[in-house]
Structure formats: C-alpha cells, structure tokens
Chain A
C-alpha cells in the first residue's frame, strides 16, 4: 500500500504541538493523523513539563489510581495465575488468528449480524459512514473506543455531515474542548475539575449557568445533556473490549451506563474492533473480566459490562454491524519480537505506573496510544521512524503491572534496535554522532587492554573539577551538567589499583 491510514504519504504539517494552545480552553486540536502528531517526544515532553497545572493534575490522578489498583489486585490470591492464563490465551489467539476470525465471522453472521473487513482507517471510515448514511442519520452516539480514535472516525463522519457525539464523560470533555485524549482509560486525565467546569460552561449549550466544579454536579450536567440524545439516536457506534470467537459474543466494559445506552437503545449498532481483540471461547472471559477492571479503574468489577451476540429479536439493536480492522495490526503481528504488543487489553495500568508518563502526560507521545504501551504499539502500527522507543528509562514498572504480561521493556529495546537500523542511512547529524560514539565505545569496551587505557581518560576532567565535582561541561556533556553535577573522576582506575596491589604481593 502506498498510503497509510488513508492519509497522504507525505505529512507536511504534523498538526499542532502540545505547547501550542489553540482556543481558550487549551485543547490541542484534532490532528490529521491520530497515530503521529505534535512535536518530537523530547520537545513535547519539555513543553508538558513546564506546565505546572498539568503535572499536578497527572501526579494526583496517577497516584490515586495506582493505589486503587494495588489495593484491589492485592485482594486476589491467584492474580499471578490469572496473568499467566491471560498471557497464554492471547499468545494462542495470535497464533490462530485467521481461524478464530473466521469463526467469529461465522457466529456473528449466524446470529443476524453483518461482518465487514477494513484494511485501513480510510476503508473502515467509509464502511461506517456508508451504514450511517443508509440509515439517514445525521447524528450518531458513540461509546468510548480506542479503535475509532485511532482511525479518526469522528472527523471522517463530520466530513460526511454526520455528527458523532461522544458519550463517555471524559471523551465528551475532550470533544467539547477540541482536544485529544491523553490517557487510554481516562482521556481527560490532564484536566482538573475547574477546567472541566469551564469547558462545560463554554461549550455545552444546556449546561446550568451556576455549574460548580463539584464532580457530582459535572457528571449530572453531562447526564442531562446526553439523555435526549440517547433516547432519540438511531445509530450507535462502539468499540469492543473482547470478541468471543466460538460464540460470536461481543463485550463492552464501562462504568457510566453510556455504553449500555448506546448498545441497547438505537436501532442500529456499529462496532469497530481491531482484529486482535479476540478470545477463543466464552469461558476465557472468566480470566479477562477479572484482569481488566482491577488493572484499569482499580475496581473489583466495573459498574457495567454488556455482552451481546448478533441480534436478539425484540431486545436491543435490530441491526448489528461488526467492522474488523487491520490498520497496521498485521505489521505488528509480523514481528515476532514485538507481536505481543497486540495482547494489550487497553487497561492503561502501564500508563499509571510509568514515571515518564506521570510527568509528561499523554499528549507528548503524539499518538492516541500514549505511555509505555503506546511507545511500543504506535511505532509498530505505523512502521515509521519514531523517538517513542526511547521515551522510557526501562525501569520495568509497566511489565510488572501488565495484566497480560507484555514485556514492554524488552520490546522497547527491540524497537530501539530497529530505530538504529532505520537510522543507518540517515543523514541526520545526531544519528551519525550517536552511531560514531557507539562504535568507538564498542571498540574500547570489547577488550581489557583497550579499556584499561580508555578508563584512564576521564581523569583529565579532574583539571576542571572543584570540590570534587564538575559543574559544567561543553556539549554533549552539557546535557548531563545542565541538570546535575558530574562527580570528579578518580586519580586511579580500579584496574590500575588492582594491578598495583597484585604487584605488591
């Protein structure tokens, strides 16, 4: 394919950067490519770090959810066994994906659903828009869905004159503020209650004028705003958390009841789902419905989970379309080392424990998939050169909490190796400098005698040290000394000391 995501192959403008703040509400705007927007990670991170409000919002939110998760995970005596099972089930799914997708299609069709296949975002958007047009609807209600974020469905529908109304509270906040989600589970995590109140007052026509920033009041304003839309919508669009191959059952996990409204009241339901979201059997849900809520919202169980199979006569939507989306997933699948990124069940536990995410937030990643999982998923989905694999200290906190045991640090290292390969022919000066430095270091560090000489080199820096530390170095050493001192190198390396000691014996 010569185009990716249905976007032009060249991407002159990468969309707004997080430090630009169009509009009074500080939304970052809707980018052209939901998987690749904004400034480079280090630049976007720098801008985010300068935003004290953002850092406070993120710090509070992530520490709250971390402790909630830890508490409810600690309650489960067989948590590790559940993780082992979840990981193995997903490995099995990937290995048998064609067979399982065909089974899902067969079972959904047998129960009155219609299955569509979409190679990329443009094709998925065309399919969905076509169905909505056929229903002569100019407004659809939506359940929060990462897949539809990833393909920019709302924007595609808008071009067809169809208004997509996000009904999840956080998605509504993001949509009203002309913003982008910054978290997989809590898209408006970067906003505090006061900012949300201001967004509602400015952008929600029926918001009570005396609205305060008490979360309960804000939630009630959203309830009132969306109620009429739920009752009158003809078409709803959702994603899916799980699809059961052997029964054709789809599952959506949610909290507010907006999901149930969308999945139940409209006549027509369209579900867009990545091809990796399968589980082989209905029984496998007993694993994931334990792993997901505790890992994501830190609840023993989320308030509502809806499961449906095709069409149930007389109950719920009487027309059901399932759109199976590739959009780069088969590229991820092709890489044996990175394949397990597709095991992700979008719980976002890795975001909440990531020390990098906690400080820079989701927008810095320039993708609808931020955080550690985004850093491995986004570059694999796009296949493009990316700085996201370096947006991690490899501290391993993500791997430790992942409910399906995706070894994110190891995949990050694999992807860094791929970046190095991609940079091999790069004209970029920084890439060439890194390469030269790494080659030189490799030479010096592959032999004891050579290293003996190399290890003495830092001693020269003693000339510029004062009180045992060096406070300022020229570039690139300045990258270090800008924020911290360098401790004075020793007069004698360890190995020279050892050699002397041996001689003395």
Chain B
C-alpha cells in the first residue's frame, strides 16, 4: 500500500489528465471586476455612518466618542453591565481604563495568559481592533498585543471593542488587502454579538460568544 499522500496526489493528476497546467501558472484568468475599493476613503463620514447602521442592524451597540471621552465611556459601559472585573490585553493603552472605579482590571498576554476558567469568571473584556468593514458591519482582530489572545475576546460575556475611525474601510477587499500584510496572524472577524438562526431560521442574538458587543468608535 503506497502512502496516502502519494496516492491522492497521483489520483488527482490522473483525474486531471492532460489538463494539468505547469506549476506556478494560473490556469484560468480570474476576472476581478468586482469593487476592490469603496466609494469613500477609510474613515469618511459616509463610511462611518454605514458602519454604525450595519453594526446596529445586527444588535451591536455603537458609541461615537472622542479620544478624550473614551475613558468615561468605558467606565459607564462597564458600570452598566455591571462588571466587577474586566480583562484587557497587555497592549491596550492604560489611559483607556483611567476612569474605572471599583472594577478589578486583569491583563492577559501570550506570555502570561489567564486560563479559560479564569476568563469565564471575568465580566467583560476591552480590546482594540485591527480594521473594520462598514458594508458588512465587521470588526477584525488580529491578535496583536492591543487585541489580545483569541480567548480573551471570546469567553467574557461582554466585549467592548475600541475602533479608531481611521480604521474603518468601506469594503471587504479593502480590509483583506490590509490584512494580507500578515496573513499568518490569528484573526477573528466579528459582526455583531454571537447569534444563531438554527431554530426556524429565526435569528437569536447571544449564544456562546459574548452576548453583548459594544463598539466604541473613536475619532
């Protein structure tokens, strides 16, 4: 019995017969007539309005603030939960949390990670983001120090995600081309809180992932 790898590759070559092109050539011209750029520049007012509309449509809660007002907003959102503990990735700007009162702040990093059980006991998480897509209401985290390990933005029930307005692009291709600089980073694309449509295709927000998603859009 030859090994499976050899046999499968050989089956494929036999199946393709003479139609196998030379390695490295693109055998079919791929037409890319679709939009690779939005009508508006990243961070444009139209793009921001669209993002807000799309996020809210899928039940994320959006807050537009200035950088100066961000700490107060975060304090208010966490008090609303009410959160007695919050986890932040180690790379998050310390100033963001400057207005918190009576909230235990835990930090997490690849070097000093919290366990899943520990994260399960924490009420909320605050992270930054890498890029946001307005047309689809999507925020992408790529695991850098200000966005944290994937578990951190997953296990706590409330996720507050801080997005800078200049990080907001209109279309998916714009985001993909940006992320293409480091495709190896672990990415999480988030579009609203977790949801299911498994029961009669009726959308229910909030299942295993965070049931509440706040987006702080900072100009």
Contacts and interface: CB of A to CB of B under 8 A. Distances in A.
Interface stretch (B72-80, B92-100, B160-168, B190-198): B190-198
Contacts of B201: 60-61, 64-65, 68, 186, 189
Nearest to B151: A264
Contact of A264 (B30, B150, B192, B202): B150
Given A119-B7, A186-B198, A97 B116 contact: no
A382 interface: no
Contact of B8 (A111, A119, A308): A119
Interface residues of B, number: 82
Given A96-B21, A99-B23, A215-B202, A330 B11 contact: yes
Contacts of B9: 98, 101-102
B149 interface: yes
B55 to A, nearest CB: 11
Contacts of A218: 199
A81 B34 contact: yes
B176 interface: yes
A189 B198 CA distance: 7
Contacts of B34: 78, 81-82, 85, 287, 290
Interface centre among A220, A244, A289, A315 (most CB of B within 10 A): A315
Contact of B208 (A226, A249, A316): A226
B176 A285 contact: yes
B201 to A, nearest CB: 5
A196 B201 CA distance: 13
A222 B207 contact: yes
Interface centre among A226, A260, A326 (most CB of B within 10 A): A260
Contacts of A170: 198
B106 interface: no
Contacts of B137: 300-301
B183 interface: yes
A61 B191 contact: no
A88 B58 contact: no
Nearest to B193: A303
A85 B35 CA distance: 11
Given A169-B207, A286-B177, A303-B58, A326 B8 contact: yes
A299 to B, nearest CB: 7
Given A85-B34, A306-B150, A316-B151, A333 B16 contact: yes
A223 B207 contact: yes
B24 A99 contact: yes
Interface string B170-213: 00110111011001111111111111111111101011111000
B176 to A, nearest CB: 4
A378 interface: no
A443 to B, nearest CB: 37
Contact of A304 (B32, B189, B197): B189
Interface string A80-99: 01101100110110111111
A82 B109 CA distance: 39
Q: Binding site of A, secondary structure by majority: helix, strand, loop or mixed? A: helix
A263 B204 CA distance: 22
Contacts of A326: 8, 11
B198 A188 contact: yes
Contact of A186 (B149, B194, B197, B207): B197
A326 B76 CA distance: 54
B91 interface: no
B33 A77 contact: no
Contacts of B210: 257
Interface centre among B34, B172, B192, B199 (most CB of A within 10 A): B199
A160 interface: no
Nearest to A246: B183
A458 to B, nearest CB: 46
Contacts of B154: 257, 260-261, 264-265
A85 B30 contact: yes
B40 interface: no
B113 interface: yes
A97 B16 contact: yes
B180 to A, nearest CB: 5
A192 B173 CA distance: 38
Given A88-B28, A95-B21, A98-B20, A301 B200 contact: no
B199 A215 contact: yes
B56 interface: no
B183 A315 contact: no
Contacts of A302: 191
Interface centre among B8, B111, B135 (most CB of A within 10 A): B8
Contacts of B183: 244, 247, 249, 282, 307, 309
Interface in A247-270: 247-249, 255-258, 260-261, 263-265
A311 to B, nearest CB: 10
Contact of B15 (A85, A282, A330): A330
B212 to A, nearest CB: 12
A231 B180 contact: no
A454 to B, nearest CB: 43
Given A95-B27, A286-B176, A301-B191, A256 B54 contact: no
A222 B133 CA distance: 31
B209 A260 contact: yes
A301 B192 CA distance: 9
A264 B3 CA distance: 31
Given A81-B34, A88-B30, A312 B186 contact: yes
Given A169-B198, A193-B199, A289-B172, 7 more contacts: A82-B34, A96-B25, A117-B5, A256-B196, A265-B116, A283-B180, A286-B36
Interface of B: 3-5, 7-9, 11-16, 19-21, 23-36, 54, 58, 109-111, 113, 116-117, 120, 133, 135-138, 143, 149-151, 154-155, 172-173, 175-177, 179-180, 183-202, 204, 206-210
17 contacts: A60-B200, A92-B27, A116-B4, A215-B199, A220-B206, A227-B120, A244-B183, A256-B198, A257-B154, A285-B176, A303-B193, A303-B209, A309-B185, A312-B110, A313-B110, A316-B151, A333-B15
Interface of A: 57, 60-61, 64-65, 68, 77-78, 81-82, 84-85, 88-89, 91-92, 94-99, 101-102, 111, 116-119, 123, 167-170, 173, 186-189, 192-193, 196, 215-216, 218-220, 222-223, 226-227, 230-231, 244, 247-249, 255-258, 260-261, 263-265, 275, 280, 282-283, 285-287, 289-290, 293, 297, 299-310, 312-316, 324, 326, 330-331, 333-334, 336
